[in-house]
């Protein structure tokens, strides 16, 4: 993997730090008029998601991280791993529970997900921003209620639970924003 000097530290650059792949968020140049120049860098550890601050001497080099964002199709899960397929090469990859994190509840077969790979292995998975899922369980709503006042919990086919308006019923397909976990609309 290539080395990158502090002057190449731009937002989004992936580097290795303490053995972990990281993504640069911000890079500030700091230099006393008569003294050592530094780069104060904000970095996200892609394994833990934590944001840390590090300082480098200006001009120091750091090893790049072989990190790649790929769009892949979700196939299925065997409970231990989640399997994905590259839409062009049909190559398959499996992600473990750590990489899937809280995204598992949004994954529906065939959906296109964003996978972040480190050395070819999934580090994290991001579900599509919007998913369309069928309601498998919810209390029957009151007839004629269209206001959505307060709403009610509904369990979706993937196991996720979201609040929906009272008029939405079992068997209906709804659109959900996976970033907020909120109901968006019914899908006809």
Partner 1 sequence: MSRESNNAAWRPCAKLTTLQIRAQLLRQIREFFHQRQVWEVETPILSRHGVTDPHLRSFTTLYHEPGERHGQVRYLHTSPEYAMKRLLAAGSGSIYQLARVFRNAERGRWHNPEFTLLEWYRVGFDHQQLIDEVGVLVQQLLQPALGALTIERVAYAELFQQHLGIDPHRDQPSVLRDCAVAHGIIPPPGLSLTERDPWLDLLLTHCLQHQLGQSGRISVLYDYPVTQAALARIRPGDPPVAERFEFYVQGIELANGFHELNDPQEQRRRFEQDNQHRRLQGQATLALDEEFLASLAHLPSCSGVALGVDRLLLLATGQQQISEVISFSFGRA
Chain residues in the site for partner 1 (CB under 8 A): 28-38, 40, 54-60
Using CA atoms in the order 116, 118, 123, 129, what is the torsion angle rounded to 10 degrees? Answer: 0
Contact (CB, 8 A) for 155 and 132: no
* Cβ 62 to partner 1 shortest distance, Å: 8
* Cβ 59 to partner 1 shortest distance, Å: 8
Residue 100 has phi, psi (to 5 degrees) of -70, -40
* Cβ 124 to partner 1 shortest distance, Å: 24
Question: Toward partner 1, which CB reaches closer, 34 or 188?
Answer: 34
Of 127, 182, 184, 134, give the one whose Cα is nearest residue 156: 134
Q: How many helices (H) and strands (E) does the chain have?
A: 1, 16
Question: Toward partner 1, which CB reaches closer, 16 or 104?
Answer: 16
What are the angstrom distances between the C-alpha of 25 and each of 3, 11, 41? 18, 5, 7
Contact (CB, 8 A) for 131 and 145: no
* Cβ 169 to partner 1 shortest distance, Å: 49
SS3 call for 131: strand
* Cβ 51 to partner 1 shortest distance, Å: 14
Question: Toward partner 1, which CB reaches closer, 49 or 59?
Answer: 59
Question: Toward partner 1, which CB reaches closer, 15 or 168?
Answer: 15
Question: Toward partner 1, which CB reaches closer, 32 or 140?
Answer: 32
């Amino acid at each position: 993997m290539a080395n990158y000097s502090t002057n190449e530290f731009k937002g989004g650059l992936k580097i290795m730090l303490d053995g972990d792949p990281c993504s640069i968020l911000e890079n500030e140049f700091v230099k006393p008029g008569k003294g050592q120049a530094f780069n104060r860098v904000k970095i996200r550890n892609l394994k833990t998601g934590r944001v840390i601050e590090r300082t480098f001497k200006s001009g120091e080099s750091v090893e790049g991280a072989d990190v790649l964002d790929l769009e892949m199709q979700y196939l299925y899960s065997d409970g231990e791993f989640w399997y994905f397929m590259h839409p062009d090469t049909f190559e398959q990859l499996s992600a473990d529970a750590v990489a899937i994190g809280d995204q598992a509840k949004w994954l529906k077969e065939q959906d296109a997900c964003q996978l972040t790979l480190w050395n070819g292995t999934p580090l994290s998975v991001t579900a599509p921003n919007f998913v369309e899922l069928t309601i498998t369980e919810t209390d029957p709503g009151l007839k004629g209620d269209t206001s959505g006042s307060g709403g009610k919990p509904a369990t979706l086919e993937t196991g996720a639970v979201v609040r929906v308006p009272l008029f939405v019923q079992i068997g209906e397909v709804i659109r959900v924003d996976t970033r907020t976990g909120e109901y968006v609309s019914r899908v006809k």
